Amino acid sequence: MRRKIAAGNWKMNGLRADLAELENLSTDPGVDVLICLPATLIAAARDLPIAIGGQDCHDATNGAHTGDISAPMLVDAGASYVLTGHSERRSDHAETDADIAAKSRAAHDAGLTTIICIGETLAIRAAGTTLDIIDGQLAGSIPDCATADNTIIAYEPVWAIGTGKVPSTEQIAEVHAHIHARLKERFSDGADFGILYGGSVKASNAADIFAVPHVTGALVGGASLTAADFSPIITALAAS
């Protein structure tokens, strides 16, 4: 049975005082709640009653990589999850599918669960090649060592991230069904992989999104910064 997961991504936001928001989050025994924090906040949040994740990791365990953070460092700080392949890493840092697969392998070796992000731009959606791009990202970004226990997929259409635009439930259903089918083809436990939706998820649309087949949770950006915005999403997921 795939667990329901409500994951927040604070991106480059938050100081230690803001961690008080996490103490007020709604919880439910049927939902795993986690927040992917800036590296500066992970150790300070490690004793909170939710899971903590990093937002990226290097594919090396150590070395001359100024400004980077390794997967073992994340574990040492208190993280149990890490994002790889977020669209902002792909665009801002020119990360390739091969880069993301290497980072995900390093994360698995360190004992982290990876949330591997995939998704299309508006131009790709308009061209009608979304599923082709999704196929390439799935094949190239997920390492062969991935299992349903150490890997979660997050579908985030780039054009919906932080824009307020949300795909129709039919569009979400098409992509999530496609991802599910591809995972079943490639992995013996592929049917058990969690598949999150991300992209302008908020309290007002969460219930409709969680009713879509093969949506097992959400990766939430701006709405995860406050308990008032994130808690209703967690509640909607618990009720789905």
DSSP conformation letters of the chain: -PPEEEEEE--S---GGGGGGGGG----TTEEEEEE--HHHHHHHTTSSSEEEES--BSSSSSS-TT--BHHHHHHHT-SEEEES-HHHHHHS---HHHHHHHHHHHHHHTPEEEEEE---HHHHHHT-HHHHHHHHHHHHS-TT--TTTEEEEE--GGGTTTS----HHHHHHHHHHHHHHHHHH-TTGGG-EEEE-SS--HHHHHHHHTSTT--EEEESGGGSSHHHHHHHHHHHHH-
Nearest-angstrom CA–CA distance, 135 and 86: 16
Q: How many residues does the chain have?
A: 240
The domains found in the chain, sorted by start residue, are 4-239 (3.20.20.70)
List pLDDT tens digits, range 211-221: 999 999 999 99
pTM, two decimals, is 0.97
Give the largest Cα separation in the chain, rounded: 47
Q: Report the candidate in 86, 116, 107 with the shortest Cα–Cα distance to residue 187.
A: 116
* Cβ proximity of 90 and 116 under 8 Å: no
Angle, helices 169-186 vs 203-210, to 10°: value is: 50
Nearest-angstrom CA–CA distance, 239 and 83: 26
**Which residues are 118's β-sheet partners?**
155
Query: Range with the lowest mean pLDDT among 33-37, 103-107, 120-124, 140-144?
Result: 120-124
Query: Range with the lowest mean pLDDT among 34-38, 122-126, 215-219?
Result: 122-126
Nearest-angstrom CA–CA distance, 152 and 183: 11
Residue 191 has pLDDT above 70, yes or no: yes
Q: Kindly indicate the confidence band of residue 1, based on its pLDDT and cuts at 50, 70 and 90.
A: low
Residue 187 has pLDDT above 80, yes or no: yes
Nearest-angstrom CA–CA distance, 92 and 11: 13
What contacts 125, CB < 8 A, 6 or more positions away? 157, 159
Q: Which amino acid is at 2?
A: R
Q: What is the per-residue pLDDT for 166?
A: 84
Residues forming the active site = 86, 156
